[in-house]
Structure 1
Amino acid sequence: MSTCEHAARLPSPEPAARTPEGCEECLRDGTRWVHLRLCLDCGHVGCCDSSPRRHASAHAAGDEHPVIRSFEPGEDWRWCYVDEQIV
């Protein structure tokens, strides 16, 4: 497995979730999500790609913030959208 340079450049400490109660855009628009993801660059909380609106990956592409982590209780994995790998 190759090393993800994006994960190596993340801020420390991890940013706080901007909307810990749910997906930022879904809350604003009154839509639903399946699972949540936290942007490790800025703290944006977005919904996963199994959700109808896919706000986490849209944020990653639009804001060039490629590394997220699961924002689900009991999960601690991280993913880089650019490198398409667990980091």
Structure 2
Amino acid sequence: MAMCEHLTEAGDPEARTPEGCEECLAAGGRWVHLRRCLSCGHVGCCDSSPGKHATAHFRATGHPVVRSYEPGETWCWCYADSQMG
């Protein structure tokens, strides 16, 4: 399977909240793993976290690609095409 266009065209913006999930930090919540939006740099928590803020960000903005924001991980995920890159 060829990589989707969202993954091949994804940017690499700076993290807006390098210390953790933007919404969890604001609300005093917690997260399991972090994801960084490759459209705007939003840092949100994964779907194993109570807030599921990375997926909520995709649903609210349509920004399709996130990259793992965990040390040593470089994989990406396209929500629009359900494809890993």
Q: Equivalent residue for 2:79?
A: 81
Q: Could you tell me how far apart the structure 2 residues matched to 1:82 and 1:18 are?
A: 22
Equivalent residue in structure 2 for 1:23, among 11, 21, 24? 21
**Residue 57 of structure 2 corresponds to residue 59 of structure 1:** yes
Mapped partners of 2:76, 2:68: distance in 1: 7
The AA in structure 2 aligned to 1:30 is G
Structure 1, unaligned stretches of length 5 or more? none
Residue in 2 that maps onto 1:45: 43
- Within the alignment, does 1:71 sit opposite 2:47 as a pair? no
- List, as ranges, runs of 4+ consecutive aligned residues in structure 1 with deviation greater than 4 Å: none
The code of the aligned residue for 1:27 comes to L
Q: CA deviation at 1:6?
A: 1.2
Unaligned residue ranges in structure 2 (runs of 5+): none
Amino acid in structure 2 at the alignment position of 1:57: T
How many correspondences in the alignment? 85
**Percent identity of equivalent pairs:** 65
